[in-house]
Structure 1
C-alpha cells in the first residue's frame, strides 16, 4: 500500500501524543464561557435581553466564519494577516459593482445583487490565490506575504473610495441579506452554521482536510508521501480569502454601505485569537473548526460583557492578550511534554 493511500484511509492528525495542554485549553473553554455568561447576567440586566443575544450571535457568526478560514491556514502551518483588509476590500467592491450595475442596468435587482456578490467573493479569492501562490511557489513566509497583502489590500480599498462610504446598492440586498431574520435570528447566523458544518466535514471526511493536517504536522513527510503540497496550501489561503470576503459582503448588507474601514486589524487579531484559543496549534497540524467556532462565541460574549460592564475600551485588549498568552503557553507545554517522552 502506498503512503498516499495510507493518508487517504486515516486522518493525518498526530496520534499517540501527549495533548494535555491542548485538552486543558479546550476543556477550559466551555467553563470560561459559562463563567462569563453567569457573571455578566448577574451584573447586568441587559445581558440576557433578546436583542443583546441576537447581536452577540450575529457578531460571533461573522468572527466564526473568518476564524474557520484562518484555522485552516494555521493548521497547514501558515498565517493569514490579510483577512481584515479583505473584509474591507470585498465590502467596497461589492457596493461599487452593485451601485454601478443598478445605475446602468436599472434592474432586475436579483441580477445586480448576484453579480455584486460574485465580484466581492472574487476579490477575496484573488487575494487568497495570490497569498497561496507566493507561499507555495516562492517559498515566502506566510506571515510576511500576508503582512504585505494586508497593507496593499487596505490601500486598494481606500483608493477606490477615497475614504467615503459607497451607497446606491439595491434595497432588496440590504433588506433580504443584511436585516432579514428567520425564526427570529439573522441570516448571517445560518450562513455561519452552514460553513462550520461544511468545514468540519472537510476536515474529517475529505482528502483535502487530511492532507492539510499532514502538511501542517510534517511537511517533509507529506512530500515523501506524495501529497500535492502546493495545491493544498493554495487551497487553504483561498478558503481564508473567500470566507473573509463573505463576511465583508454580509457586513455591507448590514450597515447599508461599502466601507474601506470595515474589518481592520481588530478582526484579524480576533480571528487568530479564536483559532489559538480553540485549540489550533501555531505550529500546525492540530485543530478543529467547530471548537474554533465556540472560541469565537466566547470572545464575542467576553467583548459584549466588558462593554456592558463599562470596562474602559483601552483595557479590553489586555484581557484578549492574556487569554492568548495562556492558550499559547498551554500549547507549548504540551509540545515540551511530547518531546520529553
Structure 2
C-alpha cells in the first residue's frame, strides 16, 4: 500500500506537469483559438441538433470561405503593426465595379460572357491593388496612422461605391459568373472553398518560404532593426497593404458572384469579423507574430459561431455583442500571450 501511495505521489505531479507544459505550448502556438473552437462546436451541437448535419456544415464551409479570404488579407496588415478598416468598403467598391464592367461588356457583345467575366474580375483586382497602394503609401511614406488612413479610405470608397451605383443593386452580369464562382461544387466542395484554399496555399508559400515573407515578419517584429538590416521597410509596408487589398478584392468578387448583383453595402460586417478572426487566431496586434493556418481556423470559428447563433435564433444585434466580446477577449489574451512569450525567451 505504501509503495502504491509513493508511486501515485510521484506519478500524478509528473503527469500534471507534463499536461501543464503541453497546454502552455499549445497556448503559445495558437492562442485561445483551440479552446474556444472546441467549446463552440460541443456547445452548439448540444443546443441545436441541426448544427452538425451535413447540410449545415456544407453551408458553414461555403460561408466561411469569404471571411477566410478577407481575414488572410487583414493578417498581412497586422503582421506589419497596421490594420485595414477599409476592407468592407473595398469589397463593396469591387462588387459595384465588377458588376458594372461585366454588364457593359456583355451589353456590347452578348455572346462573350467569359470575356465579360474576365474583364470584370480584372477590374476588381486592379481596384484592389490601387486601394492597397494608396493605403500603403499614406502609411509608409506620409506616416499617417494606419487606423486613421484606412478609416478615411473607408469613407471615400463607400462614397464612390454609392455614387457609381446610385445606391441601387447593379444587375446584368453573365449567369455563368454565379454558376461557376458561387454555386459550382467540384468533387462536392463549393467553388468558394476551392478559391479560399488556393489563396491559403499562396499565402502559406509567401510567408513561410520566400524572403519577402521573412521580411514582413521582421518588419512587424522590429522596424528599426529591419531598416538597419538593409530591408526597404517602406516598400515592404506598401506591398503588404497592396497584397491585403488584392486578396480582399478576391473576396469581393466571390461575394458578388454569391449575391448575383453589385452591392454598394456589401460586406459591412467584415471589418469586425476579420479583425476578430485574425486576433483570436493568435496574430498579434504588436506585429510579427501569426500563422496563416490559424487565421483560416479563426475565420471558420467566427462563421461557425454566427451560424450557431442563427440556428438558435439569436437576434442580429445580440450577435454583434458576442462578436465584440470575442474581440476584446482575444486582445486581452494576446497581451497575456505576448508576456508569456517574452518570459520564455528570457529563460
Superposition TM-score, scaled by structure 2 size: 0.88
1:211-268 Cα offsets, whole Å, 9 max, x none, are: 001111100000000001111111111111111111111111111111101112x101
State the distance in 2 between where 1:321 and 1:151 align: 22
Equivalent position of 2:191 in the other structure = 187
Change (3 A) 1:21 1:151: farther
Aligned residues of 2:61 and 2:300 also touching (Cα < 8 A): yes
Residue matched to 1:58: 62
Matched, 1:288 2:285: no
User: Residue 249 of structure 1 aligns with which residue?
Assistant: 253
Q: Which runs of 4+ in 1 moved over 4 A?
A: 19-22, 337-341
Post-superposition CA distance 1:73-129 (Å, at most 9, x none):
110111111101011111000000000111112332111110111001111111011
Which residue number corresponds to residue 299 of structure 1? 302
C-alpha spacing 1:165/1:139, structure 2 compared with 1 (3 Å): same
Q: Alpha carbons of 1:199 and 1:20: their partners in 2 closer, same or farther (altered >3 Å)?
A: same
Distance (Å, rounded) in 1 between the aligned partners of 2:109 and 2:47? 53
| 1:263 matches 2:267 | yes
Match of 1:174 in 2: 178
1:114 aligns with 2:118: yes
Contact 1:86 1:241 in 2 (8 A): yes
Does structure 1 conserve the Cα–Cα contact (< 8 Å) formed by 2:77 and 2:84?
Answer: yes
Give the corresponding residue for 2:312: 309
Which of the numbers 229, 241, 247 marks the counterpart of 1:225?
229
Q: Which residue of 2 aligns with 1:273?
A: 276
Deviates more, 1:282-291 or 1:171-180: 171-180
Instruction: Write the distance in 2 (CA, Å) between the matches of 1:321 and 1:261.
Output: 21
Contact 2:31 2:333 in 1 (8 A): no
Q: Distance in 2 between matches of 1:168 and 1:316?
A: 34
* Contact map agreement 1:213 1:286 (CA 8 A) in 2: yes
Answer with 33-42 or 72-81: which moved more: 33-42
CA drift at 1:24: 5.3
1:328 pairs with 2:328: no
Q: Any conservation in 2 of the 1:25–1:277 contact (CA below 8 Å)?
A: no
Q: Which has the higher helix share?
A: 2
Quote the residue 1:236 is aligned against: 240
Match of 1:96 in 2: 100
1:156–1:22: structure 2 CA closer, same or farther, 3 Å change rule? farther
Structure 1 residue ranges without an equivalent (≥5): 1-18
Once residues 80 and 22 of structure 1 are traced to their aligned partners in structure 2, the CA distance between those partners, rounded to angstroms, is: 28
Aligned to 2:7: none
Residues 22 and 157 of structure 1, relative CA distance in 2, 3 Å threshold: farther
Contact 2:124 2:249 in 1 (8 A): yes
TM-superposed deviation, 1:41: 2.0
Structure 2 CA distance for aligned equivalents of residues 30 and 334 of structure 1: 14
Relative to structure 2, which stretch is displaced further, 245-254 or 218-227? 245-254
Shift of 1:49: 2.7
Structure 1 residue 42 corresponds to structure 2 residue 46: yes
Please, which moves more after superposition, 94-103 or 316-325?
Answer: 316-325
Quote the Cα distance in structure 1 between the aligned partners of 2:295 and 2:144.
Answer: 27
Count of matched residue positions in the alignment of Structure 1 and Structure 2: 322
CA distance in 2, matches of 1:88, 1:25: 34
Alignment deviations for residues 295-332 of structure 1 (CA, whole Å, 9 cap, x no partner): 11111101111111122322222222222222211222
1:46 counterpart SS class: helix
Match of residue 146, structure 1, among 145, 150, 161:
150
Greater CA drift, 85-94 or 330-339? 330-339
Q: Tell me the secondary structure at the aligned position of residue 120 of structure 1.
A: helix
For the residues of structure 1 that align with 2:81 and 2:31, how far apart are their CA atoms? 24
2:336 and 2:255 mapped to 1: Cα distance?
38
